[in-house]
Chain A
Amino acid sequence: MELLGIPAKALFGQLLLGLINGSFYAVLSLGLAVIFGLLNIINFSHGALYMVGAFGALLGLNYLGMNYWVALVLVPLAVGLLGILIERTMLKHLYKLDHLYGLLLTFGLALIAEGVFRYYFGVSGESYPAPEALQGGVDLGFMYLPLYRGWVVVASLLVCGATWYLIERTSLGATLRAATERPELVQALGINVPLMVTLTYGGGVALAAFAGVLAAPVLQVNPVMGSNLIIVVFAVVVIGGMGSIAGSIVTGLGLGVVEGLTKVVYPEASAVVIFVIMIVVLLFRPAGLFGKQA
């Protein structure tokens, strides 16, 4: 049976792969959307912090004997703390200024992080093995699915779901959203707004590091893994709508599938298709597919 001139078996395999990549984009763009939606910071260091997360897992394994499962919890916490440090010392001075200053600062931090890691590790990077329990795979008939990739989808969707629930359905999330829209009012009610902002940034950064640890067994852990991905992730967030949490999750998944389809039909364009979609979306819905019109 053939669809679009491609055997169905191959098509389903590619769609599944697209879904896997999409769930990855979803976790990354979620962190970015959280930081932008709630804090109005264009966090260009997101890719670098994702890379730091991956390296955290690698170094933890090599020097502390930390296994994957421990790393999955500890590394995001550690990098989140780093994020809090960045926010407290540098970013908080920029809130009253134009968006561009935050962009420039975080971009600069990304370049520094990348440069330091590149100096010590070179660009080829190092291998990080998947945990024993997730090695091997299962033959689904239309393709062989590595267990680890299946886990990536599950973990990503769980984390995305949990984050969305936290922000949209709990009182903590409501307070957070209120604090960003009307900080003075919320502060007047006795809530420590600056602390909420700091913790939110740390949380967004922790999400990026989580994605990094998830990625480490799949891609080579190298210093440029973040910069290769960050532009795509920004495109995802822009298409989904900069302020929308749910939007970035759905868009991430959807675009992963679209990219997967492109790889089957016309692989040479697979690096570009997301940006083409971004241009089209911006022309017709400048606030993004799920964004609120400003």
Chain B
Amino acid sequence: MKLKTIALAATLVATGAAQAQLSDNIVRVGVLTDLSGAYSDIAGKGTVVATQMAIADFIAKEKPAFKVEMVSADHQNKGDVAANKAREWFEREKVDVVSELVTTSVALAVQKIAKEKNKIALISGAASTRITNEDCNDVTVHWTYDTYSVANGTAKAVTKAGGKKWFFLTADYAFGHSLEKDASEVIKANGGEVLGAVRHPFPGSDFSSFLLKAQSSGAQIIGLANAGADTINSIKQAAEFGVTPKQQLAGLLMFVSDVHSLGLKTTQGMYLTEGFYWNLNEETRAWSKRFFEQQKRMPTMVQAGQYSSVMHYLKAVKAIGSDDTQKVMAQMKKTPVNDFFAKNGSIRADGRMVHDMYLLQVKKPAESTTPWDYYNVVATIPAADAFQPLSGSKCALVKQ
């Protein structure tokens, strides 16, 4: 009996020692995204393609000693579906990192499970600042953007340009509320006022009655605190009901895919803030053309951010020769991010990857020279100014 116990204990110790290296010498990256719903053009299949590109480029350039595999799944914008999938991946399929996670409710749910299972969550698509505030943890990185950085850029620019009276059309869930709150604070800080808000079910389709309410509020600016298909329909129906051009619309979270869908005629002159634009410089153009060859659409910031975050993760794993969660997180936070996606990028204590953001204005149809040539870059918002300062953070990991 005693011999058996010692033998068993010895086996356990031996397996424990092996953990210092990669678990079964394979790094598995999970891509959990919205493949079929409201956000599938912003993120969706494009993020799977971006991840595949990142893995292929990593293997070709860095020639690692370990194998890299990818699994992907559709979370359908449902927190419970996502949570179950993440759990299944962590427990049964030995996935090391779950990534993408567009839709705030999904990200918040999966963040918790990643912490519970001591795995990493790399968030590209989800928006809410809660991810790095109230719900922050030490296994999460929020990579591409958040409601503060997009609201800050756009709301500040529009309010300073004279749009002082605002009314919000808000998607009724965590993301919409977060975007409305962050934008309201920026508006008030710059001398504007918020006359009211109307919350629509998510996802919506007919916004006519909500737009009618916004119309009768007397606001100059109608802030759209929603995204994806909701934003597209809101803009289209606002034009239909004569809301524009008397009142101006501010898309607080818009993507190049939305502009592509609506066309320049409807969206021209709109301000928006993004973390990436394919046509910024030679580097972004080169990468985006490669993406376009596979996806037949130019990348959104979520898709570009997905490539960047996965590459950063893989490089960190190679640098320390281990996929141990805490060690990889430490390595990722130590290493600056400077690639085609992010300039002056770094991951803070709260998990927020800060990088330069861009204030953009949609071109007039006559100004656009090539397909997908949609934006004029109005300003580059430096990393230090773009994101919520750590001093205002509600994250327990940040020492106040």
A268–B261 CB distance below 8 A: no
Chain A residue at smallest Cβ distance from B243: A144
Determine if B400 is an interface residue (Cβ-Cβ < 8 Å).
no
Residues of A within 8 A of B215 (CB): 143-144
Interface segment among A30-38, A51-59, A122-130, A242-250: the answer is A122-130
B201–A123 CB distance below 8 A: no
In whole angstroms, how far apart are the Cα atoms of A14 and B209 in the complex?
A: 6
B236–A123 CB distance below 8 A: no
B237–A218 CB distance below 8 A: yes
B242–A146 CB distance below 8 A: yes
Chain B residue at smallest Cβ distance from A136: B242
Contact pattern, A 184-224, Cβ under 8 Å of B = 1, otherwise 0: 00000000000000000000000000000000001110101
In whole angstroms, how far apart are the Cα atoms of A21 and B204 in the complex?
A: 14
* Contacts A218-B237, A229-B205, A268-B199; A263 near B210 (Cβ below 8 A): yes
Determine if A170 is an interface residue (Cβ-Cβ < 8 Å).
no
A10–B216 CB distance below 8 A: yes
Q: How large is the interface on B (under 10, 10 to 19, 20 to 34, 35 or more residues)?
A: 35 or more
* Contacts A124-B232, A124-B257, A144-B241; A17 near B209 (Cβ below 8 A): yes
Determine if B228 is an interface residue (Cβ-Cβ < 8 Å).
yes
In whole angstroms, how far apart are the Cα atoms of A243 and B379 in the complex?
A: 61
- Contacting A at CB under 8 A, from B246-302, are 257-258, 260-263, 266, 297
Determine if B233 is an interface residue (Cβ-Cβ < 8 Å).
yes
Residues of A within 8 A of B210 (CB): 263, 267
- How distant is B285 from chain A, measured CB to nearest CB, in Å? 22
Most A CB contacts (10 A, CB to CB) among B203, B208, B216, B261 go to B208
A123–B199 CB distance below 8 A: no
In whole angstroms, how far apart are the Cα atoms of A10 and B196 in the complex?
A: 15
- How distant is B283 from chain A, measured CB to nearest CB, in Å? 26
Determine if B105 is an interface residue (Cβ-Cβ < 8 Å).
no
Give the contacting residue for A124; candidates B172, B229, B266; CB below 8 A: B229
Give the contacting residue for B261; candidates A17, A127, A272; CB below 8 A: A127
* Contacts A118-B36, A229-B205, A268-B172; A220 near B261 (Cβ below 8 A): yes
Determine if B119 is an interface residue (Cβ-Cβ < 8 Å).
no
Residues of B within 8 A of A18 (CB): 209
Residues of A within 8 A of B206 (CB): 21, 218-219
Residues of A within 8 A of B233 (CB): 219-220
Determine if B38 is an interface residue (Cβ-Cβ < 8 Å).
yes
B38–A271 CB distance below 8 A: no
B229–A222 CB distance below 8 A: yes
In whole angstroms, how far apart are the Cα atoms of A127 and B261 in the complex?
A: 7
Residues of A within 8 A of B241 (CB): 137, 144, 146
Determine if A173 is an interface residue (Cβ-Cβ < 8 Å).
no
Residues of B within 8 A of A271 (CB): 201, 204
In whole angstroms, how far apart are the Cα atoms of A165 and B215 in the complex?
A: 40
Determine if B64 is an interface residue (Cβ-Cβ < 8 Å).
no
Determine if A62 is an interface residue (Cβ-Cβ < 8 Å).
no
Residues of B within 8 A of A143 (CB): 212, 215
Determine if B37 is an interface residue (Cβ-Cβ < 8 Å).
yes
Give the contacting residue for B216; candidates A9, A148, A149, A268; CB below 8 A: A9
Contact pattern, A 147-176, Cβ under 8 Å of B = 1, otherwise 0: 011000000000000000000000000000
B212–A10 CB distance below 8 A: yes
Give the contacting residue for B240; candidates A148, A224, A270, A272; CB below 8 A: A148
In whole angstroms, how far apart are the Cα atoms of A124 and B41 in the complex?
A: 6
29 CB contacts below 8 A, A to B, read A10-B212, A17-B212, A20-B208, A122-B40, A123-B229, A124-B41, A124-B258, A124-B261, A125-B229, A125-B232, A127-B236, A127-B266, A130-B240, A137-B241, A143-B215, A146-B240, A218-B206, A219-B236, A220-B232, A225-B205, A229-B205, A260-B209, A263-B209, A267-B172, A267-B210, A270-B200, A270-B201, A271-B204, A272-B201
Chain B residues with CB under 8 Å of chain A are 36-38, 40-41, 44, 172, 198-201, 203-206, 208-210, 212-213, 215-216, 228-229, 232-233, 236-237, 240-242, 257-258, 260-263, 266, 297
CB-based closest 4 A-B pairs? A271-B201, A124-B261, A263-B209, A124-B41
